[in-house]
Structure 1
Amino acid sequence: MSQSPDLEKRSAFQTHIGFEVTGWEVDVARVEAPIAPFMSNRQGIPHGGVHATLLDSAMGFAGCYTGDPDRQQNALTLSLTVNYVGQAQGSRLIAEGRRIGGGRKTYFAEGRLTDDLGNLVATASGTFRYRS
């Protein structure tokens, strides 16, 4: 996957959470974030909402690649399903999203969240609507 983080400036939310787009091309995107103390739940592990955020973001980016910084494509999430399957052991969370189908107005995507050691943490699927 090509690394194209310069195609778009970071959103305020992206900056606040601390994730970055580390790969982005047609139908595929990867976002990564260091595991930080502020992400912890009551048990001291990354909160499931962080997992959902990274997966939602990766899948959202996956359907919106244009390759042209002057032609930004946006989408909004219509539905998001997250399956929590493991616990992160490493120091980074890595979400990869892939557009798997759709049409002119909506698309479908799947995502996988791992840590930097390769442990599977969560999977997701979503439906997204393009915004004009």
Structure 2
Amino acid sequence: MTYAPFDPALDETPYGLQKHLGFELTHWDEDYARLELPLAPHLMNRAGIPHGGIYATLLDTVMGFAGCYTGTADHKKLALTLSLTTNFLSRPRGGRLIAEGWRTGGGAKTFFAEGSICDETGESIARGSGAFKVRATTL
């Protein structure tokens, strides 16, 4: 699927966890989001590969963004995770993680999403699914 170019006006100021981990939102559109994370030493586990919590965090975040697109920076929508399933498939071969999320269904207050993580070589690393509740208030 082809998506329109990312509108930089929709990019939000990075929050604390995002700054610490180092991921950035590289695309956001109706029912779709993409995050990228360069691998760094503070993301690794004792075996020298990214900690599984990094994959879960990226999937949780990218799926949440996928269900919260409004198309305008003046009207933000937020989501709370109700459930999250993460399946670990492989280890990265490259130096950058690419997470993609798709809103797959739901309604105005609850939505469902699926996500995947690969690296820049195309290695499929993790997949996930989740249920999310749209927050009652917007920013």
User: Please, which moves more after superposition, 6-15 or 99-108?
Assistant: 6-15
Q: Give the aligned residue type for 1:3.
A: F
Matches of 1:122 and 1:3, distance apart in 2? 24
Among 122, 127, 131, the alignment partner of 1:118 is 122
Percentage of identical aligned residues: 55
CA distance in 1, matches of 2:14, 2:70: 16
Q: How does 1:1-132 map to 2 (within 5 A)?
A: 1=3, 2-7=5-10, 8-132=12-136
Secondary structure of residue in 2 paired with 1:16: helix
| Structure 1 contact 30–58 (Cα < 8 Å) conserved | yes
Separation in 2 of the partners of 1:68 and 1:49?
Answer: 31
Q: Per-residue deviation at 1:104?
A: 1.4
Query: Which stretches of structure 1, 4 residues or longer, exceed 2 Å deviation after superposition?
Result: none
* Paired amino acid for 1:56: D
Alignment RMSD: 0.9
Give the number of aligned pairs: 132
CA spacing shift, 1:52–1:94, aligned 2, 3 Å: same
What are structure 1's unaligned runs of at least 5 residues? none
Cα distance in 2, alignment partners of residues 99 and 18 from structure 1: 24
Q: Which amino acid aligns with 1:114?
A: C
Q: 3-state SS of the aligned residue for 1:50?
A: helix
Structure 1 SS opposite 2:98 = strand
Q: Post-superposition shift, 1:5?
A: 4.6
Q: TM-score normalised to the size of structure 2?
A: 0.92
